[in-house]
Amino acid sequence: MYQLIELIAVVSSAIYGVLLARRHGMDLVGVFSLAFMVAFGGGTLRDLFLDRNPLFWIANDHYAVIVFVLAIVTSLIPMLPEKTERWLNLPDAIGLGFFSIAGALAAVEAGTSLFIASMLGVVTGTFGGVIADVICNRVPSLFRPAPLYATCSFLGCWLMFLLNASSLPEAYAVPIAIAGIVLLRLAADRWD
Amino acid sequence: MYQLIELIAVVSSAIYGVLLARRHGMDLVGVFSLAFMVAFGGGTLRDLFLDRNPLFWIANDHYAVIVFVLAIVTSLIPMLPEKTERWLNLPDAIGLGFFSIAGALAAVEAGTSLFIASMLGVVTGTFGGVIADVICNRVPSLFRPAPLYATCSFLGCWLMFLLNASSLPEAYAVPIAIAGIVLLRLAADRWD
Amino acid sequence: MYQLIELIAVVSSAIYGVLLARRHGMDLVGVFSLAFMVAFGGGTLRDLFLDRNPLFWIANDHYAVIVFVLAIVTSLIPMLPEKTERWLNLPDAIGLGFFSIAGALAAVEAGTSLFIASMLGVVTGTFGGVIADVICNRVPSLFRPAPLYATCSFLGCWLMFLLNASSLPEAYAVPIAIAGIVLLRLAADRWD
């Protein structure tokens, strides 16, 4: 199941990175570089912090090929800016949900405390977007009052810990926590 | 003694991060995130560079709880901006001094040359502030002619090496070097 | 041979960093810090990603001394801004070529797939410049349509893999690939 979570997280984050890069008028190299950073940034930091080796995108080297193909395919499609603006939120929220839980699960497995695990969930879920913001030279949205990426991620991790503690099997707790993060994030966008 | 140095460094850096975030009008999530990065950024880079494992804030998981509580407590206090401006310098200088020496000591212990150790002292002491600057979208103050963080840190590390070489016990050399960095940094602020 | 490649890469990247910092009017500390980051940034990321230990600039601690001396020497020379603008491109292109191939070779040696190795070549070759751009608060030039650092690096890595696959000995394939990247990069600058 862990592999599937990571794959979905990578694919949706890559799509988000590609759309974001296209909106900023980047060329193919920029599109691929940004997609690569958004898709692999958070997980790389998690793997470095937990000393997991090799890094998840070196161990699963088809991930990079997937991102590469995604960047090429979407570069062939002429972009419709008014539409993508709205569509950016969906892959962003999905990537946040799946990466947050992937980060928290990996940290728990490595034996950290639950509080540290939830922080690594937040780092894994949000760092790709923070890099994208720094690259695009904006104040990272994590630090502006509006859409609370870190809060959604943090609450979702604790929802999973609580469900686990109440002896719900992981096969249920994990999808519920992921869905919680994605829905909370989309709701925050809507009510902003 | 090493544990105590690190604890003081974390607490004062976290206070600096919290005050800086408050001054930029961030919400609780932003305050905690910035405090976390300022308090753990430099030491994390040191641990990654020296392959120390687990990272110091994963091994000492009460550090994160301390930062979390600090962020919440200070969020309840209404801020007095004119006063904090001056108070920002003190925790900043203390964090610089304690983290610089903590970085240099860890590097020496890992068997690096003294020159590399002093560079790791500078990295450990200054990186938190550099991240804060990049996040707040300013040219990092390390790179502007004015207040020389890196110089204070570098000189303090070499002061410690010299005192050690002149066979002064570490129990004296370390506090003297830390005090040297803090005072030099505060003096640089005053005469700027 | 690998040592020589790395040494040339470090020296030319450090010269680039020094010139760039001088052009931005930084003092000696800023000059050394930027030179250090440009010269060691890409290789550090490669070593962290591949879990190579100790880091190449900790293992070869004369590198840091070389960068330090370079920063001091060039600080004594009064700068002629109109001339350096053109001269910036040469050490930049040389650093890109040597670091890209050093990154790809290290990745292949660590047993990654060729696609991952070429990506690590790009990361090693370009990351120093990306840091410099972020520090100087510009949109990293990697992400603007103009001079394609990442493309030159990526093509050069694949040139080396192809030459190797066609059973050309590494002693020929490596210099050809490096020369290819440097020339491609200089040509891109000229025709921009």
Residue B57: its chain A contacts at CB < 8 A? Answer: 116
pLDDT-above-70 percentage for chain A: 89
* pLDDT at position C77: 75
Is B93 an interface residue toward C (CB < 8 Å)?
no
- Length, in residues, of chain C: 192
Q: What is the pLDDT of residues A128-185, one digit of tens each?
A: 888 887 777 665 665 554 557 888 999 999 999 999 999 888 888 999 999 999 999 8
Task: Tell which A residues from 120 to 179 touch B, by Cβ distance under 8 Å.
Answer: 134, 137-140, 142-145, 148, 150-151
Residue A39: HSE in the Cβ half-sphere, 13 Å Cα cutoff: 35
Q: What is the pLDDT of residues B60-86, one digit of tens each?
A: 989 999 999 988 887 777 765 566 666
Q: Residue B118: which domain range?
A: 2-190
The mean pLDDT of chain A is 85
Q: Is C109 on the interface with A (CB under 8 A)?
A: no
Which residues 6+ apart lie within 8 Å of C64 measured at CB? B115, B116, B119, C36, C57
DSSP state of B111: T
Per the CB < 8 Å rule, is B26 touching A145?
yes
Residues of A in contact with B21 (CB under 8 A): 143
Q: Do residue A137 and residue C142 have CB atoms under 8 angstroms apart?
A: no
* Tokens at C85, concatenated: 């603008």
SS3 of chain C: CHHHHHHHHHHHHHHHHHHHHHHCCCCHHHHHHHHHHHHHHHHHHHHHHCCCCCCHHHHCCHHHHHHHHHHHHHHHCCCCHHHHHHHCHHHHHHHHHHHHHHHHHHHHHCCCCHHHHHHHHHHHHHHHHHHHHHHCCCCCHHHCCCCCHHHHHHHHHHHHHHHHHCCCCHHHHHHHHHHHHHHHHHHHHHCC
CA dist list (Å): C178 to A171, C106, C172, C175: 50, 15, 10, 5
Closest CA to A31 of C121, C141, C143, C146: C143
Closest CA to C16 of C70, C76, C78, C77: C70
- How many structural domains is chain C composed of? 1
Round to whole Å and give the CA distance between C93 and C185. Answer: 6
3-class DSSP state for residue B51?
Answer: coil
The CA-CA-CA angle for residues C104, C108, C113, to 5°, reads 100
- Identify the weakest region by mean pLDDT among A70-74, B123-127, C27-31, C76-80: C76-80
pLDDT at B148: 76
Tell me how close the Cα of C163 comes to any Cα of chain A, in angstroms. 22
Interchain contact, C61 vs B116, CB within 8 Å: yes
Q: Who among A112, A119, A143 is closest to B26 (CB)?
A: A143
Q: Give this complex's ipTM.
A: 0.86
